Amino acid sequence: MLVLTSFSCLLLWVRIVRTGEGRFLFLLWNLFLALLPLWVGRVALLRPRRTWLVVALLLVWLALFPNAPYLVTDLVHLKRTSGAPLWFDVLLLLSFGVTGLFCAFRTLDEVLAWICSRLGGGMRFPALCGLCLLASFGIYLGRFLRLNSWDLLTSPSRVALSVAELLSGPKAFNALGFSGLFAGFLVLLYWGWSRELRTNARPG
């Protein structure tokens, strides 16, 4: 993740130097937000804590978790410009997106391990699907309704009202469809990622 982060930032720096424009500077902020759930998850789980405190910190983690896979959706900003070749912008956005996915899968792996240690290994797949579905719905709220993770603390009534209006309105199908498909995308990628890691970890 450190190498990917450095490579992504290097690409962004090259683009800024070559074009003289900061069109994609927002990627740095989005990358910072993607790293937050990884940090919060480790703060919650790496030291022995009271269960209620771990649960409280994991709720904060859950609010932040969508920020990591959210980076993939920054591909919507891709368009042909006179500033840089299209292929370079594709590589730039994909680099940040993949970095976000690595952050997401790493912290998700740690949280799932904690859940399985408390509730049994049989909860791994249901928890994976549930967390990915919640994260995908959070991504929809962020991408299309422009809500942020901290709005849960600063404007909880606004978030609740926006979600209620969304689910009861004409865009409910789009929101649920996006959430379900994106969750499936995350589950499949995580399954392949974790399976590959476990296969390579076996001796011989």
The pLDDT of residue 200 is: 61
Give percent of the chain with pLDDT exceeding 70: 95
Do the Cβ atoms of 138 and 65 come closer than 8 Å?
A: yes
Do the Cβ atoms of 39 and 130 come closer than 8 Å?
A: no
The pLDDT of residue 21 is: 86
Do the Cβ atoms of 60 and 153 come closer than 8 Å?
A: no
The pLDDT of residue 178 is: 97
The pLDDT of residue 203 is: 54
Query: What would the mean pLDDT of 100-104 be, rounded to a whole number?
Result: 95
Domain boundaries in the chain? 2-201
- Is residue 101 pLDDT above 70, yes or no? yes
The pLDDT of residue 20 is: 87
- Is residue 82 pLDDT above 90, yes or no? no
- Report the candidate in 71, 43, 46, 67 with the shortest Cα–Cα distance to residue 57: 43
The pLDDT of residue 154 is: 87
> What band does 201 get if pLDDT is binned at 50, 70 and 90?
low
Do the Cβ atoms of 102 and 95 come closer than 8 Å?
A: no
- Report the candidate in 79, 66, 67, 82 with the shortest Cα–Cα distance to residue 27: 67
Query: What would the mean pLDDT of 4-19 be, rounded to a whole number?
Result: 94
CA–CA gap between residue 128 and residue 138 (Å, rounded): 15
- Is residue 198 pLDDT above 70, yes or no? no
The pLDDT of residue 52 is: 82
Number of Cα atoms under 13 Å in the Cβ half of residue 125:
5
- Using CA atoms, how far residue 10 sits from 95, 97, 133, 186, in Å, is 10, 15, 32, 26
Tens of pLDDT, residues 34-77: 999 999 999 888 776 778 888 889 999 999 999 999 999 999 99
- According to the 3-state scheme, what is the secondary structure of 144-175? HCCCCCCHHHHCHHHHHHHHHHHHHCCCHHHH
The pLDDT of residue 124 is: 93
Tens of pLDDT, residues 155-197: 889 999 999 999 999 999 999 999 999 999 999 999 988 877 6
Residue 125: other Cβ atoms inside 10 A = 12
